[in-house]
Amino acid sequence: MPQNNSFSLEVCVESATGLLTCEGRADRIELCSALAIGGLTPGAGLIRRAQVHTVPVHVLIRPRPGDFTYDRHDLAAAISDVRFVRECKLAGVVIGAARDGRLDLPAMRNMIDAAEGLHVTLHRVADILPDPLLVLDQAVALGIGRILTAGGAQGAADGTAQLAKMHKAAAGQIEIMAGSGVTAENVAQIADATGITSFHASCTSVAPAGDELAAFGFGQQRVTDKAKIEALRNTLNMLHPH
């Protein structure tokens, strides 16, 4: 189900089955683990598994939960993961580091240097920093190709005013991709309000799980939902860019 207009769809997945589900449906994949806590770097086995897929795969690099202010040990782990993704010859990495209310430029440069030719996306660290337009300028200066953002809101549908400002300010220098809570039901409204043509969604459903798993704290499995991807892609295919 390839796109038939200029609107693109990136789907975030955290399993080998999710990778398969995106084949022929998504334009791009963000690969991660632990979606329930905003995503972490996936394991080496899953990253290697992504090598066999035709959809371009961009790997989230987030070495731990919590904030994005990394010490030298966190950063060393992140750089090692970036290098592994490059060795696996995947399409790109999704990174972010912050310090004192803005991007941590030395940490970002170190990760970008390690990426060496991979496409680089700035993740939603942009949404927790006080000046999104400063973040945009920093990202452009770093040579980053894309910013994933909800416009400083918890969901993109609530951040359309800021998303529109960022999209206008980007002026083609960097791609603004709207993400968080994007669905077939709200993507047209987000696109119309912002002018954005690039979207990110998880398109997941919760798999049934027994009470005994919850009792032991193993959590719920969220599975990539083919029908949700197809519905979102079909909606995007009917839209017309501004």
CA neighbor of 7 nearest in space, from 200, 166, 138: 200
Q: What is the pLDDT of residues 161-219, one digit of tens each?
A: 999 999 999 999 999 999 999 999 999 999 999 999 999 999 999 877 666 766 777 77
* 3 — pLDDT class (breaks 50, 70, 90): low
The distance from CA 87 to its chain's CA centroid, rounded to whole angstroms, is 21
Are 39 and 63 in contact, with CB atoms under 8 Å apart? no
In the chain, % of residues over pLDDT 70? 95
Q: What is the pLDDT of residues 80-122, one digit of tens each?
A: 999 999 999 999 999 999 999 999 999 999 999 999 999 999 9
- Judged against a pLDDT cut of 80, whether residue 13 lies above it is answered with yes
Q: What is the pLDDT of residues 41-77, one digit of tens each?
A: 999 999 999 999 999 999 999 999 999 999 999 999 9
Check residue 207 and give its pLDDT.
79
Are 211 and 159 in contact, with CB atoms under 8 Å apart? no
CA neighbor of 86 nearest in space, from 113, 123, 126, 66: 113
- Judged against a pLDDT cut of 90, whether residue 221 lies above it is answered with no
Collapsing DSSP to helix, strand or coil, 148 comes out as strand
Residue type, 214: A
In sequence order, what are the residues at sequence separation of 6 or more whose Cβ sits closer than 8 angstroms to the Cβ of residue 242?
A: 195
Check residue 5 and give its pLDDT.
67
* 140 — pLDDT class (breaks 50, 70, 90): very high
Check residue 211 and give its pLDDT.
65
Beta strands in the chain (DSSP E): 8-13, 28-31, 57-60, 92-95, 98-99, 102-103, 119-122, 146-149, 175-179, 198-201, 204-206, 222-224
Q: How far apart are CA 38 and CA 45, in angstroms?
A: 20
Check residue 206 and give its pLDDT.
83
- Judged against a pLDDT cut of 60, whether residue 2 lies above it is answered with no
